Amino acid sequence: PADAVLTCALPEIVLESQVSGGREPYILQWTSSQGAMLGSESLLDVETPGIYVLTATGANGISASTSVEVGQDIEPPSVTVASSGELTCAVTEIALSSAVTGGRAPFVYQWTNEDGSIVGSESGFRASEPGEYALSVTGSNGCSDSATIVVAQDITPPVIATAVDGVLTCSVSEVTASAVASGGRAPYAFTWLNSAGQEVGDNDSLPVSDPGVYTVIVIGGNGCSSAATIDVEQDIEPPVV
């Protein structure tokens, strides 16, 4: 018999005797290296590493022995996974990466989502949906390891409260429209548009000298946005004498 190796993929092997010469019929005897009797057939099932000895005795009483060493390779890989960040309104896809140590290359990779569906077969994966992802890595010896990672998502838009501090009149030629943002993620960026859609300001407050409907767009640090409108009124009706 030839030397063999037990692995995670091959937990059991069969040793087969090959006897020639001498005088048939043969009496076969399999023993361990410690001399324990293991079998007397031509085939021997082996699940434990070690040295196995086969002794064949011919009809003329003459014996011959040979040995085979059964090794074992069951070292699993060690897997870690990491992400490049979280999903937001501005970041719609992130990279998941893996690092593997130990085990036996080459490795087979399998990414699955939280539904158990296979979504990737490379060492890295690009995720566009939030949730838990699992990576299973199997070495050439059939031994495997797995790791999980949760992909977070922040797509909460800001909430806008608007106000105007007065009404345009013959004596009040300018009022101030203001916006207060909350929720979502700071810092906030403000853009004011007039009724024609033209950009007229980029702060949280806007001096206004013309009546009309103004729109403020607020974008949070996560790229999510909200919009609100405010109506600046004007009262310039003169008295009738």
> Which tens digits make up the pLDDT trace of 180-213?
999 999 999 999 999 999 999 999 999 999 999 9
DSSP 21-67: SS-SSPEEEEEETT--EEE-SSEEEE-S-EEEEEEEE-TTS-EEEEE
**pLDDT greater than 70 at residue 140:** yes
- What mean pLDDT do residues 124-134 have? 97
* Strand pairing class (63-73; 4-7): parallel
Radius of gyration of the chain measured on its C-alpha atoms: 39
- What mean pLDDT do residues 122-143 have? 97
Residue 208 CA to residue 174 CA, distance in Å, equals: 5
Strand partners, 132: 150
Specify the pLDDT at position 4.
87
Specify the pLDDT at position 73.
96
Query: Mean pLDDT for the chain?
Result: 96
Residue 106 CA to residue 179 CA, distance in Å, equals: 58
Specify the pLDDT at position 21.
92
Residue 25 CA to residue 211 CA, distance in Å, equals: 114
3-state helix, strand, coil in the chain (%, to 5): 0, 55, 45
Cβ neighbours for 171, distance < 8 A, ≥ 6 positions apart: none
Specify the pLDDT at position 1.
53
Residues 143, 137 contacting (CB under 8 angstroms): no
**pLDDT greater than 90 at residue 2:** no
How many CB atoms neighbour CB 160 within 10 A? 23
Q: Which of 118, 153, 151 is nearest to 132 (CA)?
A: 151
Residues 96, 124 contacting (CB under 8 angstroms): yes
Q: Which of 144, 143, 132, 147 is nearest to 99 (CA)?
A: 147
Q: How many CA atoms lie less than 13 Å away from 200 in the CB half-sphere?
A: 20
Residues 132, 108 contacting (CB under 8 angstroms): no
- What mean pLDDT do residues 74-96 have? 97
Q: Which of 80, 138, 136 is nearest to 106 (CA)?
A: 138
* The two structure tokens encoding residue 234: 């004007």
Residue 229 CA to residue 177 CA, distance in Å, equals: 10
Specify the pLDDT at position 230.
97
Residues 133, 109 contacting (CB under 8 angstroms): no
Specify the pLDDT at position 68.
93
